[in-house]
Amino acid sequence: MTSVEPAISVLPANEARWEDLQTVLGTRGPGSRCQCQRYKLRRRESFASFPVEDRADRLRQQTDSGSPGSGTTSGLVAYLDGEPVGWCAVEPRAAYEGLLRNCRVPWEGRSEDKGDESVWAVTCLFTRAGFRRRGVSRALARAAVDFARERGARALEGYPITTTDVLLEELHVGTEGVFADAGLRVVSRPTVRRVVMRVDF
C-alpha cells in the first residue's frame, strides 16, 4: 500500500476568491481579528481604534482577491486538495509601514535602505485551523520565493521566531526551518526570539 501526498497548490491572492481567504483566516482567533494588518497599520492607528471590518476591507483592497487580471496583490493563498488552507503576506518590504517604524526587527545591526522596494518581505504565514503540520507553510514559503523573484525582487526576507515556546498569535511570522527549507539564510539575530532570514536573487 502506498501513501499519496496531499496536493498543495498556491495562487496569487488576486486569483483566489475573497471567500476562500476569509475561510483560511476563520471567524475567530488571531487570523480573523488581525486580517493581516499588524504591519499595515498607519501612524496613530491601533487595533483598538480600527474595527475588524475595516481591517478586512483593507485586506480585500490589498489582495484584490477575485480579480485575476489585477497587476498587483499582497499575498498568496494555498489550497490542499482544493480546500483553502493557507495565507502568506508577501510584497515589497517598504509596503509594511509597521516594519519601517520597527526599531529592532528587521533593522538592528543592518544598514538597509528602508525604502528599497526591490527587497520583498514575508510578514505572515498562516495555516487554517485543522490543517496545520501538513506542509502548508513550507509550500507557501517556497511559493513566496518564486512569486517575489518573478515580479522583479532582488531579495526576499522573512522574520521568523526561533523558540518553540510560543503562542499561536506569534507563529504568524513562521519558523526558521520553514524559511530555511525555502532557501533563505540567517543574516542577523536582532532579538533572542527573532531572526532575519534572506535570499538574494
Tell me the HSE value of 173 on the side-chain side, using a 13 A CA sphere: 23
pLDDT computed for residue 6 by the predictor: 66
Mapping DSSP to helix (H, G, I), strand (E, B) and coil, where does residue 84 land? strand
User: Average per-residue pLDDT in the chain?
Assistant: 90
Alpha-carbon distance of 137 to 121, in angstroms, equals: 15
* The pLDDT of residue 2 is above 80: no
Entry pTM: 0.92
Cell numbers for 135, please give them.
506542509
162: nearest Cα among 188, 193, 123, 125:
193
CATH for the 8-200 domain, from 3.40.630.30, 3.30.70.270, 3.40.50.360, 3.30.1550.10: 3.40.630.30
C-alpha distances in angstroms, 47 versus 29, 94, 98? 14, 21, 13
- Mean pLDDT is lowest, of 55-69, 97-111, 159-173, for 159-173
